Amino acid sequence: MSVIERIKDQIENNPVVLYMKGSPDFPQCGFSGQTVQILGACHAKFMYVNIFEDPELREALKEYSNWPTYPQLYIGGELVGGCDIVIDLYQKGELAKMLAAVGAIEE
Protein backbone atom coordinates (compact mmCIF):
# COMPACT_ATOMS: atom_id res chain seq x y z
CA MET A 1 0.00 0.00 0.00
CA SER A 2 1.44 3.36 -0.99
CA VAL A 3 1.61 6.20 1.51
CA ILE A 4 -1.18 8.05 -0.33
CA GLU A 5 -3.35 4.91 -0.16
CA ARG A 6 -2.67 4.71 3.60
CA ILE A 7 -3.71 8.35 4.05
CA LYS A 8 -6.91 7.80 2.04
CA ASP A 9 -7.66 4.64 4.04
CA GLN A 10 -7.22 6.45 7.36
CA ILE A 11 -9.41 9.38 6.31
CA GLU A 12 -12.12 7.25 4.68
CA ASN A 13 -12.39 4.70 7.50
CA ASN A 14 -12.39 7.05 10.50
CA PRO A 15 -14.96 9.81 10.98
CA VAL A 16 -12.38 12.12 12.57
CA VAL A 17 -8.62 12.00 11.98
CA LEU A 18 -6.08 14.36 13.49
CA TYR A 19 -2.60 14.42 12.00
CA MET A 20 -0.52 15.96 14.75
CA LYS A 21 2.92 16.39 16.24
CA GLY A 22 3.09 13.91 19.10
CA SER A 23 0.09 12.22 20.72
CA PRO A 24 -2.99 13.49 22.56
CA ASP A 25 -1.33 12.56 25.86
CA PHE A 26 1.98 14.13 24.87
CA PRO A 27 1.55 16.76 22.14
CA GLN A 28 4.87 17.99 20.78
CA CYS A 29 3.73 21.42 19.64
CA GLY A 30 1.40 24.00 21.08
CA PHE A 31 -0.94 24.00 18.08
CA SER A 32 -1.39 20.23 18.23
CA GLY A 33 -1.99 20.51 21.98
CA GLN A 34 -4.63 23.23 21.54
CA THR A 35 -6.42 21.20 18.87
CA VAL A 36 -6.52 18.13 21.13
CA GLN A 37 -7.89 20.28 24.00
CA ILE A 38 -10.68 21.61 21.78
CA LEU A 39 -11.59 18.14 20.55
CA GLY A 40 -11.67 17.07 24.20
CA ALA A 41 -13.93 19.99 25.09
CA CYS A 42 -16.31 18.74 22.38
CA HIS A 43 -16.12 15.16 23.75
CA ALA A 44 -14.95 14.05 20.32
CA LYS A 45 -13.89 10.52 19.48
CA PHE A 46 -11.01 10.72 17.02
CA MET A 47 -8.12 8.80 15.56
CA TYR A 48 -4.74 10.49 15.63
CA VAL A 49 -1.54 9.98 13.69
CA ASN A 50 1.76 11.15 15.13
CA ILE A 51 3.51 12.54 12.06
CA PHE A 52 6.90 12.27 13.77
CA GLU A 53 6.57 8.47 13.69
CA ASP A 54 6.08 8.39 9.91
CA PRO A 55 8.27 10.89 7.99
CA GLU A 56 7.08 9.52 4.63
CA LEU A 57 3.45 10.18 5.58
CA ARG A 58 4.34 13.61 6.99
CA GLU A 59 5.70 14.74 3.62
CA ALA A 60 3.04 13.03 1.48
CA LEU A 61 0.15 14.47 3.50
CA LYS A 62 1.29 18.03 2.74
CA GLU A 63 0.85 17.29 -0.96
CA TYR A 64 -2.32 15.24 -0.51
CA SER A 65 -4.05 17.96 1.50
CA ASN A 66 -2.37 20.94 -0.16
CA TRP A 67 -1.92 22.21 3.41
CA PRO A 68 1.69 22.82 4.52
CA THR A 69 1.39 22.79 8.32
CA TYR A 70 0.32 20.57 11.20
CA PRO A 71 -1.95 19.72 12.86
CA GLN A 72 -4.45 18.82 10.15
CA LEU A 73 -7.97 17.83 11.17
CA TYR A 74 -10.24 15.79 8.91
CA ILE A 75 -13.94 15.34 9.66
CA GLY A 76 -16.09 13.12 7.47
CA GLY A 77 -13.28 12.69 4.96
CA GLU A 78 -12.81 16.43 4.45
CA LEU A 79 -9.91 18.60 5.55
CA VAL A 80 -11.18 21.09 8.11
CA GLY A 81 -7.83 22.80 8.58
CA GLY A 82 -5.33 23.55 11.31
CA CYS A 83 -5.43 24.94 14.81
CA ASP A 84 -6.63 28.48 14.01
CA ILE A 85 -9.56 27.20 11.94
CA VAL A 86 -10.47 24.61 14.59
CA ILE A 87 -10.45 27.31 17.31
CA ASP A 88 -12.65 29.56 15.16
CA LEU A 89 -15.15 26.78 14.41
CA TYR A 90 -15.24 25.83 18.10
CA GLN A 91 -15.91 29.39 19.22
CA LYS A 92 -18.75 29.71 16.69
CA GLY A 93 -20.29 26.40 17.81
CA GLU A 94 -19.75 24.89 14.37
CA LEU A 95 -17.15 22.29 15.33
CA ALA A 96 -19.50 20.40 17.67
CA LYS A 97 -22.12 20.29 14.90
CA MET A 98 -19.58 18.93 12.41
CA LEU A 99 -18.45 16.26 14.89
CA ALA A 100 -22.04 15.30 15.73
CA ALA A 101 -22.88 15.00 12.02
CA VAL A 102 -20.33 12.17 11.67
CA GLY A 103 -21.26 10.50 14.98
CA ALA A 104 -18.00 11.45 16.68
CA ILE A 105 -19.35 12.84 19.97
CA GLU A 106 -19.07 10.64 23.05
CA GLU A 107 -22.20 10.56 25.19
- What is the length of the chain? 107
Of all residues in the chain, what percent carry a pLDDT higher than 70? 100
Give domain 3-100's CATH architecture.
3-Layer(aba) Sandwich (3.40)
- Average of pLDDT values for 77-106? 97
Binding residue numbers for [2Fe-2S] cluster: 29
Listed by start position, the domains of the chain span 3-100
3-state SS of 77-101 is CEEEECHHHHHHHHHHCHHHHHHHH
Report the largest interatomic distance among the alpha carbons of the chain, rounded to a whole angstrom: 39
Residue 2 has pLDDT above 90, yes or no: yes
- Tens of pLDDT, residue by residue over 44-84, are 999 999 999 999 999 999 999 999 999 999 999 999 999 99
pLDDT confidence tier of residue 91, bands split at 50, 70 and 90: very high
- Specify binding-site residues: 29
The type of residue at 38 is I
CB environment 72-101: b (16+ within 10 A), e (fewer): bbbbeeebbbbbeebbebbeeeebbebbee
Question: Confidence band (pLDDT; 50, 70, 90) for 28?
Answer: very high
